[in-house]
Structure 1
């Protein structure tokens, strides 16, 4: 008993420490510290701020993969269209004002100080900015309202949620059920389905969830003519807010982009493939442009005419002599005298030009302006060699375009691919440098081909004509006499400049493949405008009056928006991204 009592006393006087592995629950109430509560409130405020920031960012930049909006009545359509139009108008105003300010800042040092503030105010808040904003804002608002209202006013064409090009046929069956016709103007009943041998489906690109939702919306709720009507109506009304001088350029670009998307969709649907079609289109357009540059320069835009003359590296007097020869068969003696007076004109070329002037200034019975083309002595008076002249011009054009194309390749890379540039700067800069060199070489090769063939065809005419009239008994002279004179004269007729322009299309092979189609789309509006003016001058087409630009814009925007709403992959990436930012899915 004493031992146990003493042991108990020891236990009571020296309590054992609790084991480390056994947790002990506190017997008091815990309170969250004020710092923790403040941190939690800060996190909530930060989350709300980031959410508001994302919502504000959507006003300026539309995130990729935005899903289409489901609308159920006309009031919702009007509200949706109004918000979209206001957003597009504000964005367009900011873009136009920003571009005007940037262009003004490039020349503001040459402007007197007392006029600078007024010009800055006009650049930011001038008529051009408001017109541009009204045009795009009205287009988006009208397009959104018409596109979303038509499925509500009219019965939807189909209620099937099946995506396009996805057949629900049984995988073991050798036949599949062909769905209704995809024509936007005809609707077939399910009873008309027919059994056809199963074909191997065309390979389709994988779409994201949001992209599939957009495809389902288009397939379920809209027909193709909905987007055609909406785009045509919106384009015709919106273009009227721009200045009349700018409507032609807008109408041309929209019409060409519509043709591009429609042809791409048609070629994929029917299996039509033209090898190097972009090069062919570029060559045909350049044929029209280069013909108009010498024969009918009034059918080209004045700024574009001046740019071609500058890029050709030809002297202004040379261009004037060439146009006089082609249009009237004579030349201005003063232009020839200016070429002779140049200090770098070679003695041989000076003698040739003096002989032509002597013939042109002779008395009427002996007066002659010579063959109806500009002599090579006037084309490159500083050099007697044709080959060295063309190589020199290639280098001059290459150096002239190098900084311009350098900016076009480097600036977008720094703006839109910053992460890739930071991750691999050397490789990205090398790619930009290689692209700049190819683009500069493309234009240099364009000038090289045109002017080389210009000299070749004229020298060939001289050579064949001399052989026909020479008393030589050589084989070449005999063959030249067999050729009719009209065949030889085909080398110097006006239509020969079409052939020269078409040959310049070969220069497009120097450019990167993904840029060829864009270059073809750049020259097509200018070629079509020139061809239209020539046809109208000959009475082949009638005048469209003051509504010609509006009609062309309506047709072009109908094609563009039909392709964008149903087959957006057939539009160029630039057009598709711009339309997505302004219009959105619907």
Structure 2
């Protein structure tokens, strides 16, 4: 169960010798079609043909070795899309000529002011919108929410971090370019590593989150760089990665909740709407401990248990094989009806959150595009908001269906086990199926969002078992390493980064 918080390129000429596959004598001519004037033009290959041909040129490489500068068709298209985005979007950035070291310093200061101001305002606005949702539920006052949003430590620290990162990256990057007389990956890598030290401004919890997220993004860039060069590729790899990560996250949610960040666990509990006591009772039985029947009875009564649920609980023993469905959803007898109710509740509950996350960046970062074509932009964003909400509801319902199905199999004697590994498998299945509801372009973003949570959970569990050892200040080191990779890609080959990352960096930091 996840919540997503969902570019100047080097021009690449698709007709150049550098970027085109080296043809052999056996190469076939391109297929042609007739245009509206009757002339024959090369046919555009379909997506399936492009994917199929990702490795088909290998036999055409001299001695089986990839030519220098070779890019697959997918890599070329990614570069062209990135280039088109930069040329079509005009974003005002505070800048100064970097012909002297004084100019470099002035440029870095102006960039820091803009980056810090934009991120501070965006964070404060998001906090305000989320606070208004609490206000609608009768929690807090508007004055306090406004004060916390715009004058609280959270937004100020967030803006200061991005401002410091922008200053260090621009100052070191442009300084090295002026000193070395080169504008290459090395400048971006060194500047990114040094700018990564700005993470020290954030709290320890945020440092861990940023380090994990950016390390995953850097790995994604390395994978895409290899894929665009025809070195390797994996169909539906984003969906598989999401399923593997969610298997770990749902296992942790059910069996090892202490390994999940508290705020994320709170979100999962509120979204799934399964009583935390029921999860605790299930953990006791998975580990072989007896149930306290009085606590079970009191819990189901607090959740407005039906007469049938009370009767089921009354028949429980301390060493019951499995915690029954009557404890998991005591207010509804039918598992099928419970899933219908939960689907509606999850969709209705998460819709305002997704609307905030989708519409606030639209108003702040894409206002010009919104004004140019409001109907199409608003309809597309609205549809994507509903689609994402339905995706999360399907995720919850499929997972709950497997939980109830497992209990029914035990109840009727078809299964006699309540292994903890079932819950990892259930998470893998529900995420692998529900991710297909989301648009394909967002699946990688969802995988990148949930993967750090899964990695943190796995690390904590292994650390708890003394299978791994802690490393002091690893979060700062990992963030610097990750930003070194990311900014080196952004310097010369930013199309290998996800569109979300490249657009975010471009909107906040600018070109250099």
Task: Report if TM-score (shorter chain) is over 0.5.
Answer: yes
Residue ranges of structure 1 left out of the alignment (5+ in a row): 1-61, 157-220, 361-368, 466-487
1:351-430 to 2 correspondences below 5 Å: 351-356=311-316, 359-360=317-318, 369-371=319-321, 373-409=322-358, 416=366, 425=375, 430=379
C-alpha deviation, 1:286, in angstroms: 0.7
Q: SS in structure 1 opposite 2:315?
A: helix
Alignment partners' CA distance in 2, 1:127 and 1:397: 31
C-alpha deviation, 1:407, in angstroms: 4.4
Contact 2:95-2:110 within 8 A present in 1 as well: no
C-alpha deviation, 1:462, in angstroms: 4.5
Alignment partners' CA distance in 1, 2:218 and 2:435: 22
C-alpha deviation, 1:513, in angstroms: 1.6
Show CA shifts across 1:278-321 (max 9, x none): 21111111111111112111111112112211211223432232
* Between 101-110 and 139-148, the greater mean CA deviation after superposition: 101-110
Alignment partners' CA distance in 2, 1:122 and 1:307: 21
User: Structure 1's 400 and 77: CA in aligned 2 closer, same or farther, altered over 3 A?
Assistant: closer
Alignment partners' CA distance in 1, 2:127 and 2:92: 31
Show CA shifts across 1:81-136 (max 9, x none): 333234333444444455556666776896679xx58x866754554454334322
Alignment partners' CA distance in 1, 2:141 and 2:471: 44
- Alignment pair present for 1:519 and 2:446: yes
C-alpha deviation, 1:523, in angstroms: 0.9
- Counterpart of 1:81 (choices 88, 108, 114) is 108
Partner of 1:202: none
Alignment partners' CA distance in 1, 2:420 and 2:476: 34
Residue ranges of structure 2 left out of the alignment (5+ in a row): 1-88
Alignment partners' CA distance in 1, 2:164 and 2:507: 15
Contact 2:97-2:103 within 8 A present in 1 as well: no
1:175-574 to 2 correspondences below 5 Å: 221-235=182-196, 237-341=197-301, 345-356=305-316, 359-360=317-318, 369-371=319-321, 373-409=322-358, 416=366, 425=375, 430-464=379-413, 491-505=417-431, 506-545=433-472, 547-574=473-500
TM-score, structure 1 as length reference:
0.64
User: Structure 1's 521 and 417: CA in aligned 2 closer, same or farther, altered over 3 A?
Assistant: same
C-alpha deviation, 1:143, in angstroms: 1.4
Partner of 1:50: none
Partner of 1:169: none
C-alpha deviation, 1:555, in angstroms: 1.7
Contact 1:324-1:332 within 8 A present in 2 as well: no
With a CA cutoff of 8 Å and minimum separation of 6, indicate the structure with the bigger relative contact order: 2
- Counterpart of 2:175 (choices 149, 173, 176) is 149
C-alpha deviation, 1:267, in angstroms: 1.8
Q: How many residues align?
A: 420
Show CA shifts across 1:494-532 (max 9, x none): 111111110122101011222222211211111111111
Q: SS in structure 2 opposite 1:543?
A: coil
Contact 1:291-1:501 within 8 A present in 2 as well: yes
Contact 2:96-2:103 within 8 A present in 1 as well: no
